[in-house]
Amino acid sequence: MALVWFILFAAALLLILSFIYQKNALKALSYDRYFSRKAVYAGEELEMVEEIVNAKLLPLPWLRMESSIATGLEFGRQENLGISSGDIYQNHVSLFYLRSYRHIKRRHTLVGERRGFYTLESVTMTTGDLFGFSRVVKTFPLQLELLVYPELISFDEIPLPVHSWLGELAIKRWIVEDPFLTAGIREYSTGDSMGMVNWKATARTGVMQVHKNDYSADSRLMICLNVEVSESMWRNITDVERIELGIRYAAAVAGYALDHGIETGFICNGRLVDGDAREPVLSGPIAQQEEMLGLLARLTLDRTLPMNRLLELQAENGTRDTDYLIITCHQGADLLEAAGQLMQEGNGVEWLTIPEQGRESA
């Protein structure tokens, strides 16, 4: 008889314990996750940090966390972290014990192996009592983002004759002062016009000061990246690595141009991962290299329009006095014709052919 009462008492205790965990296990439990850096270059290392706080007396004998993120981020090995990878997403599962009034911080080392825009929108937590009679689940919303820039290449790795062509643009940028642009003040020199005198600065410093003219940004560059591998290609990219090389070329050219004060824009017949699926990329002028790198990181290799049509639209919009650099795998008849229309409108055109992988460009 005593054994029966003991069994009944134990069962009642387990039911009470299960009820307590069912109602309170996920109360006063908070979670946060963040990257140590907002952006890295492909191949660089960073940390993903998790912070879990159990701000109550009730301990959690087991806590299971599950999340998924796009493939392309390589995680290092870590205790209590299981990773299963698919073609598009990798699933992360971890299981551990969390004491009462406990704040833990977990650090995961990872490498941005592949260019891209990575997001994590939620983490799902599951917990319950020690014996598994109760189980509660909660999803914590997150807004975690990471940009992986394309792998850096040096300007010297870009095939000739683009080097000399860009050098000529940079020289043209610094030839003539523009009287309508000012870049600060300087001391008066012999030959300066009295109309250039800055009287307020002169009174403040006690020395004759004149406006310092900036140089005219007559040189405008439009970088055009064509994601078509061939003229007959419809939508699917058949040589991803070759287009990725073109993306690295675009990053290097933009870096050189912006460093030399050349007004730079960017168009591409791919699309942005967080943009309209039917809209090509049209950006310019770009203020700094990080802006260009961010565009390239978010670029999805999914053709929206033929490149020749994008160039035709540029000509139809009356674009003039702009130098177009077309980074492409091919120079089909339609593309050559569209480039000719740009030249007829008074624009310059230069070609940068993306070589096949493993083959040196001429």
**What is the structure's pLDDT at 216?**
47
Q: Is pLDDT above 90 for 149?
A: yes
Choose among 177, 146, 190: nearest CA to 42: 146
**What is the structure's pLDDT at 181?**
42
pLDDT tens string 250-276: 999 999 999 888 899 999 999 999 888
**What is the structure's pLDDT at 29?**
93
At 163, the pLDDT band (50, 70, 90 cuts) reads: confident
Whole-angstrom Cα distance, residue 147 to residue 145? 7
Whole-angstrom Cα distance, residue 115 to residue 295? 11
At 138, the pLDDT band (50, 70, 90 cuts) reads: very high
Give all strands (DSSP E) within 206-347, no chain letters. Answer: 209-215, 220-225, 263-268, 271-272, 281-283, 299-300, 323-328
The whole model's pTM is what?
0.79
Contact assessment for residue 248 and residue 151, using Cβ atoms and an 8 Å cutoff: yes
Taking residues 238-258, report their average pLDDT.
93
Q: How many CB atoms within 10 Å of residue 167? A: 12
Choose among 219, 229, 310, 205: nearest CA to 258: 219
Write out the H or E segment, with its range, that includes residue 340.
Answer: helix 333-344
**What is the structure's pLDDT at 191?**
58
List CB contacts of 292: < 8 A, sequence separation 6 or more: 250, 251, 254, 255, 258, 264, 266, 286
Contact assessment for residue 125 and residue 64, using Cβ atoms and an 8 Å cutoff: yes
pLDDT tens string 178-218: 444 445 666 766 656 665 677 776 777 777 776 655 444 45
Q: Is pLDDT above 80 for 48?
A: yes
Mean pLDDT of the chain: 84
The first and second tokens of residue 309, run together, are 């049509």
Contact assessment for residue 230 and residue 329, using Cβ atoms and an 8 Å cutoff: yes
**What is the structure's pLDDT at 176?**
45
Q: How many CB atoms within 10 Å of residue 308? A: 21
Contact assessment for residue 228 and residue 303, using Cβ atoms and an 8 Å cutoff: yes
Taking residues 20-39, report their average pLDDT.
92
**What is the structure's pLDDT at 275?**
81
Q: Is pLDDT above 50 for 346?
A: yes
Between 132 and 351, residue with greater pLDDT: 351
Taking residues 47-66, report their average pLDDT.
93
Between 71 and 40, residue with greater pLDDT: 40
Strand, helix or coil for residue 220: strand
Write down all domains in the chain, each with its CATH number in brackets: 26-149 (2.60.40.1530), 155-174+217-353 (3.40.50), 182-215 (no CATH)
pLDDT tens string 72-95: 898 876 666 677 666 678 888 888
Give the torsion sign (CA, 90, 95, 100, 101). Answer: negative
